[in-house]
Amino acid sequence: MRIAVGGVLHETSTFISTPTTLQDFENGFGIYRGPEIFQRFRGANMCIGGFLDGAEKHGFEAVPLLWGFAYPSGLIERAAYDSLKQEFLERLQRAGAVDGVLLDLHGAMVVEGIEDGDGDFIASVRREVGDKPIVVAQDLHGNHTPLRVAAADAIVGYDTYPHVDMGERGREAADIIVGALRGELRPKMALRQLPMFWGTRCQVTAHPPMDEVLRRVHELEQRPGMISVTIATGFPWADVPDVGVSVIAVADGDETLARAAADELGDWVWEHRERWHTPPMSVREALAAGEQAGRYPILLADQTDNTGGGAPGDSTEVLRTFLEMGLRDALILYMVDLESIALAQAAGVGAKISLRLGGKSDPRQGPPVECEAEVIALTDGKFAYDGPMYAGLTGNMGPSALLQVDGVLVVAVTKREQPLDPAFARTLGVDCAKLRYIGLKSSAHFRSGFEKLAGSIYNVDAAGILVHDFSQLPYRRRRRPLFPLER
């Protein structure tokens, strides 16, 4: 049994003006070809790693094609996408006879001229392999479409946010395709789209209200004849017709059963739609709530500058507020600022330098902070993740600097990657558990590594590009009505 594995992943924010290029894939998580996939991802907590685990479990030959990942950013240039897709398909053709394909995709990929990049990719693979099974692992934040559901045999979405189950979902996808090839399963899939946005604060799967949603998902999966159920909360910063929440159900040989399960969960989610939203919270409101609770460190999730959603990573409101309030033992993770890093490198550790820190990418991110900073540490950016997200992998933030501005430490980095765990800060000598205030440019993934050391956590709506008041975004392509913008 030979099963091809690979994929192209991107979470595309169409409200980011900077396009995503082929170089962004090269410089992001990277592009891996053929046996490089084994070397990089064997044993890693990612879907592609789960595919490889599945090969060992079931004894099939995993045929590695191409895997590429660019950090979330703007619309993908058509030439870049075409190049990656064409190389993937050519590698598939050269691989010889395969019995099926396991695809690792995101679910919110948008390309110049192609609103459903994931659907186009799956459909292109379908044209190559005919009726051989295709099983796809996709992110919780996919904007799912009829095209991709029609082109794939089964789509399996993450169950967790933060995404600590990527390897598990990859193994589940491998189980499904092997069951299909052995004639033990006949996957039939149904999609239910819901015209609504889902607030980020209400998506953390270990806490209410999202934990109840997942209990219902798992109850449905235990019913006779069911294979898999996925709830996708969508990616609202993509201006495409299919933006929003969806349910995908996969049943064994019974599309009617899959449709009934998707509708049952979809009806319940829609009935309780008011529960999936919370009012915004300002930086100062969050700090006041944290001080009142008295549990430290107080973590502020700067969700409007979440680099994991495509934001530039250089917004300044949280830093500015920390400084205006005279906070001590405070930390910002991370500030993307190549100019400040270059100045710190030129001055060296121990030097005091004048900086315009952050605020260089877009006026919506706030102005730079004019300050005097001490260079505490410098690094080339290489480190190993603590996990559980990306467990077993190394990372590289690029040339980086630890700066001290009054009582606030700022980790300035080159790469636009959100802080998933304290590992990188530790390479700079920072013990996050000993701090009182930490601002993180992330919405929820930081919880995978930071929740265990946090005293209290608040998502804040500071000035930034990825606003969570969706009425502020200039949508042109989305469906209408769409809750809560139209009720």
The 3-state DSSP class for residue 389 equals coil
Residue 119: Cβ within 10 Å count? 24
* Residue 71 pLDDT: 94
Query: What's the mean pLDDT in 341-348?
Result: 98
* Residue 443 pLDDT: 96
How far apart CA 133 and CA 101 sit, in angstroms, is 6
Strand (E) or helix (H) holding 457: strand 456-460
Amino acid code (one letter) for 390: Y
Please give the C-alpha separations between residue 221 and each of 188, 214, 224, 250, 256, in angstroms, as whole numbers.
14, 10, 8, 9, 15
322 closest CA partner among 435, 415, 216: 435
Q: What are phi and psi of 250, to 5 degrees?
A: -120, 125
* Residue 46 pLDDT: 97
How far apart CA 144 and CA 135 sit, in angstroms, is 15
The residues near 235 (Cβ < 8 Å, ≥ 6 apart) are: 11, 13, 107, 108, 141, 142, 143, 243, 309
Digit-coded pLDDT (tens) for 348-374: 999 999 999 999 999 999 999 999 999
**Contact between residue 245 and residue 140 where contact means Cβ atoms under 8 Å apart:** no
Burial 297-314 (b: 16+ CB within 10 A, else e): bbbbbbbbbbbbbbbbbb
Q: What are phi and psi of 223, to 5 degrees?
A: -70, 150
pTM: 0.94
- 298: confidence class by pLDDT, cuts 50, 70, 90: very high
The 3-state DSSP class for residue 115 equals coil
pLDDT at 487 over 90: no
Angle between helices 47-58 and 166-181 (to 10 degrees): 40
Digit-coded pLDDT (tens) for 444-462: 999 999 999 999 999 999 9
Digit-coded pLDDT (tens) for 13-40: 999 999 999 999 999 899 999 999 999 9
How far apart CA 98 and CA 239 sit, in angstroms, is 36
How far apart CA 101 and CA 51 sit, in angstroms, is 10
Query: How would you classify residue 296: left for phi > 0, otherwise alpha for psi between -120 and 50, otherwise beta?
Result: beta
Mean pLDDT (the chain, rounded): 97
Query: What's the mean pLDDT in 227-234?
Result: 98
**Contact between residue 450 and residue 422 where contact means Cβ atoms under 8 Å apart:** yes
* Residue 159 pLDDT: 97
pLDDT at 42 over 90: yes
**Contact between residue 160 and residue 45 where contact means Cβ atoms under 8 Å apart:** no
Amino acid code (one letter) for 216: R
